[in-house]
């Protein structure tokens, strides 16, 4: 180690002058004794540069030493150069004065910072390094910039700021700890507030402004108008249908938008994109006249219909009832798919409500227009039984065109309670057209009308006293029905089965059993034939007596309310099932 040198102490200042000589102010200042106290900043002259330290003469009895690491480049330090240093210790074990160039600069800068910048002031600084939680900024002294105060949105990469110079706001000064906290965000926000106020005052509805997509949500997008955020609602993005704003926008995209509305009190701006284009509904009547054929794409299916896009911003609705002339379509998705290209006919236009009614069935001839021509009353038709209901059966006349056979038009003579007694689905059947109701799209057909009503010639077929043979077709609590020729049923009342008392008809008769009976009553008005099994073996005298008894009955009392027996067919069917 190089031996340190000592200088001789001075009993008085070198430039001391006798008091009786008049001195200038500058000369007098030079003669003021220098204070050599730890913590003081003094000027010193470099007298020697060594590899790891620099010797400095501060006018003290001993030379001072400054560590070489306090100089940016120790090789560039020159002898004779005057620098400011802070006295750390007057003498070490070797008698040398310990000095610090960095601490002198820090103290000078700190004092300077305190004199020019209070809390709230703005100061320029250069980012020196990134540390945990923020950045170190050199503003003459090192200050701390928290990560949350770097920008409006805290950045993830702090290294990108190192080496850059910015303006900062002094947030807090701690003199005891000698540290300063800065904020860049507050200056940016203040600048944005100023820009926002200016933009709001300068902006008017109808203006076209440049902006950048800042954020995208389900209901729209926020656009940065260079300091002011505006909302571009999804309904103002396009005249056409949009499922989500991300279909046409992306974050960071630069776009031109139209100012729709301004709320200066709340600082809100509503923006539009579609307003830059002509509203396609303005001349809609001239473009899509009623009755014209159009092409489009199915964009949405709902229970009551299908929406078809004719062009961007123009959609028409096909109601479920306008899909087919004849088929009963429960929901549009049964016949249409989303994205399908279709053709339709314009049925109606409402420009004010921006609605267009469309139809698909109008592309084809309405089969009901020719129904009267093809199926006039009296026409014989054939077809399959397509459906059965409680009131009748539906027979398919052609694709989508059905005729209905009411239960009352199935048989002239038999009481049919349900068409399933005669038909089942898929059966081939023949019928006669009875009536066409075009307004309600109904065709009434009948089966019984294919033949003559046997009751028109009942006198030729049966007379009172005739012996007839037939099979029991139904049993009821009051008697039994017997099938006769000409598709006519006769009724054997329970009292006319045998001479003995019968509690239950099923105890003496069975369905399918062949019986011989005598015709004892023919009622043309009520279309009824009364039979008696017990009278089949009567002599002429007995038959006359029975006839007298029947003739003496009051109307409605024949064979113990025969009328009731015929009308109670529903009870009869239930008893049959039991």
Residue range 216-275, pLDDT digits in tens: 999 999 988 877 788 999 988 887 778 899 988 999 899 989 988 888 777 788 898 888
CATH number at 455-577: 2.40.50.140
Q: What is the CA radius of gyration of the chain?
A: 57
Give the C-alpha distances (Å, rounded to integers) separating 19 from 13, 16, 30, 33, 512: 14, 9, 14, 15, 163
For residue 359, give both structure tokens.
């139809």
More confident call, 174 vs 301: 301
* The pLDDT of residue 472: 92
Q: What are the backbone dihedrals phi and psi of residue 306, each rounded to the nearest 5 degrees, phi first? A: -130, 135
Has residue 104 got a pLDDT over 90? Answer: no
CA 49 to chain centre: 79
Query: Which CATH number among 1.20.120.160, 1.10.287.70, 2.40.50.140, 1.20.200.10 corresponds to the domain 1-116?
Result: 2.40.50.140
Has residue 191 got a pLDDT over 60? Answer: yes
Question: Which three-class secondary structure string do you get for 50-86?
Answer: CCCEEEEECCCCECEEEEHHHCCCHHHCCCCCEEEEE
* The pLDDT of residue 116: 66
In the CATH hierarchy, which fold is given to the domain comprising 367-450? OB fold (Dihydrolipoamide Acetyltransferase, E2P) (2.40.50)
* The pLDDT of residue 328: 78
* The pLDDT of residue 124: 87
**Distance of alpha carbon 531 from alpha carbon 322, whole angstroms:** 57
Q: In sequence order, what are the residues at sequence separation of 6 or more whose Cβ sits closer than 8 angstroms to the Cβ of residue 89?
A: 38, 97, 98
Has residue 556 got a pLDDT over 80? Answer: no
Determine what percent of the chain is predicted with pLDDT higher than 90.
18
**Distance of alpha carbon 318 from alpha carbon 337, whole angstroms:** 13
Pairing of strands 268-272, 254-263: antiparallel
Q: What are the backbone dihedrals phi and psi of residue 130, each rounded to the nearest 5 degrees, phi first? A: -100, 130
Of the candidates 488, 493, 478, the residue with the CA atom closest to the CA atom of residue 535 = 493
- Which range of 16-25, 274-283, 344-353, 394-403 scores highest in mean pLDDT? It is 344-353
**Distance of alpha carbon 446 from alpha carbon 377, whole angstroms:** 11
For residue 403, give both structure tokens.
């005729």
* The pLDDT of residue 295: 92
* The pLDDT of residue 198: 79
- The arithmetic mean of pLDDT across residues 76-97, rounded, is 84
- The arithmetic mean of pLDDT across residues 81-85, rounded, is 89
Reported as a pLDDT band with limits 50, 70 and 90, residue 578 is: very low
Residue range 334-370, pLDDT digits in tens: 899 999 999 999 999 988 888 899 999 888 877 777 7
More confident call, 313 vs 217: 217
Has residue 300 got a pLDDT over 80? Answer: yes
More confident call, 485 vs 241: 485
Of the candidates 460, 444, 443, 440, the residue with the CA atom closest to the CA atom of residue 452 = 460
Residue range 243-257, pLDDT digits in tens: 899 988 999 899 989
Give SS3 for 560. Answer: coil
Residue range 414-448, pLDDT digits in tens: 778 899 988 888 889 899 999 888 878 888 999 88
Asked whether the domain spanning 455-577 has the same topology as the one spanning 117-188, the reply is yes
Does the domain at 117-188 match CATH 2.40.50.140? Answer given as yes
Of the candidates 520, 518, 542, 524, the residue with the CA atom closest to the CA atom of residue 469 = 518
Residue range 31-51, pLDDT digits in tens: 445 568 877 888 899 998 888
Residue boundaries of the structural domains of the chain: 1-116, 117-188, 203-276, 289-362, 367-450, 455-577
Of the candidates 519, 514, 448, the residue with the CA atom closest to the CA atom of residue 487 = 448
* The pLDDT of residue 444: 92
Q: What are the backbone dihedrals phi and psi of residue 520, each rounded to the nearest 5 degrees, phi first? A: -115, -10
CATH number at 289-362: 2.40.50.140
- The arithmetic mean of pLDDT across residues 96-121, rounded, is 78
* The pLDDT of residue 84: 87
Task: Tell me the CATH class for 203-276.
Answer: mainly beta
- The arithmetic mean of pLDDT across residues 151-167, rounded, is 88
**Distance of alpha carbon 430 from alpha carbon 413, whole angstroms:** 18
Has residue 500 got a pLDDT over 70? Answer: yes
* The pLDDT of residue 34: 58
pLDDT averaged over every residue in the chain: 81
Has residue 20 got a pLDDT over 80? Answer: no
Residue 392 forms beta bridges with which residues?
Answer: 406
- The arithmetic mean of pLDDT across residues 128-149, rounded, is 88
């Amino acid at each position: 180690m190089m031996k340190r040198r000592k200088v001789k102490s001075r009993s008085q200042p070198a430039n001391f002058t006798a008091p009786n000589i008049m001195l200038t102010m500058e000369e007098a200042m030079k003669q003021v004794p220098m204070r050599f106290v730890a913590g003081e900043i003094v000027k010193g002259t470099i007298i020697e540069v060594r590899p790891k330290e620099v010797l400095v003469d501060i006018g003290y009895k001993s030379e001072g030493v400054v560590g070489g690491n306090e100089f940016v480049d120790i090789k560039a330090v020159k002898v004779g150069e005057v620098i400011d240093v802070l006295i750390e210790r007057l003498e070490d074990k070797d008698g040398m004065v310990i000095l610090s160039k960095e601490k002198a600069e820090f103290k000078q800068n700190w004092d300077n910072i305190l004199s020019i910048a209070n809390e709230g002031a703005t100061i320029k600084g250069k980012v020196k390094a990134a540390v945990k939680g923020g950045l170190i900024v050199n503003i003459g002294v090192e200050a701390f910039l928290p990560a949350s105060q770097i920008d409006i949105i805290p950045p993830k990469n702090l290294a990108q700021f190192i080496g850059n110079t910015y303006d900062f706001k002094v947030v807090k000064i701690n003199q005891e700890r000698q540290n300063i906290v800065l904020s860049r965000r507050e200056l940016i926000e203040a600048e944005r507030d100023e820009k926002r106020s200016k933009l709001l005052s300068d902006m008017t509805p109808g203006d076209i402004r440049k902006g950048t997509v800042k954020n995208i949500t389900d209901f729209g997008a926020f656009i940065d108008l260079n300091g002011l955020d505006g909302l571009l609602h999804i309904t103002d993005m396009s005249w056409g249908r949009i499922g989500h704003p991300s279909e046409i926008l992306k974050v960071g995209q630069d776009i031109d938008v139209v100012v729709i509305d301004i709320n200066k009190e709340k600082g809100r701006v509503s923006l539009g994109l579609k307003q830059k284009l002509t509203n396609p509904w303005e001349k809609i009547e001239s473009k899509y006249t009623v009755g014209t054929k159009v092409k489009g794409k199915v964009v949405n299916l709902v229970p009551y219909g299908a929406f078809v896009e004719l062009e961007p911003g123009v959609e028409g609705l096909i109601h479920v009832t306008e899909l087919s002339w004849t088929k009963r379509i429960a929901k549009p998705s049964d016949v249409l798919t989303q994205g399908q290209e279709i053709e339709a006919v314009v049925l109606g236009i409402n420009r004010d409500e921006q609605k267009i009614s469309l139809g698909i069935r109008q592309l084809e001839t309405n089969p009901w227009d020719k129904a009267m021509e093809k199926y006039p009353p009296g026409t014989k038709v054939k077809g399959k039984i397509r459906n059965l209901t409680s009131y009748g059966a539906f027979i398919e006349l052609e694709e989508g065109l059905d005729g209905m056979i009411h239960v009352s038009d199935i048989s002239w003579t038999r009481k049919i309670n349900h068409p399933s007694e005669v038909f089942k689905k898929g059966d081939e059947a023949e019928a006669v057209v009875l009536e066409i109701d075009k307004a309600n799209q109904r065709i009434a057909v009948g089966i019984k009308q294919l033949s003559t009503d046997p009751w028109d010639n009942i006198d030729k077929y049966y007379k009172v006293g005739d012996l007839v043979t037939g099979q029991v077709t139904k049993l009821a609590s009051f008697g039994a029905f017997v099938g006769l020729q000409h598709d006519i049923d006769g009724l054997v009342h329970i009292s006319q089965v045998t001479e003995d008392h019968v509690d239950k008809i099923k105890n003496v008769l069975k369905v399918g059993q062949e019986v011989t009976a005598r015709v004892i009553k023919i009622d043309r008005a009520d279309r009824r034939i009364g039979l008696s099994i017990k009278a089949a073996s009567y002599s002429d005298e007995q038959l006359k007596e029975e006839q007298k008894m029947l003739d003496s009955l009051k109307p409605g009392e024949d064979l113990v309310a025969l009328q009731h027996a015929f009308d109670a067919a529903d009870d009869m069917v239930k008893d049959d099932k039991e």
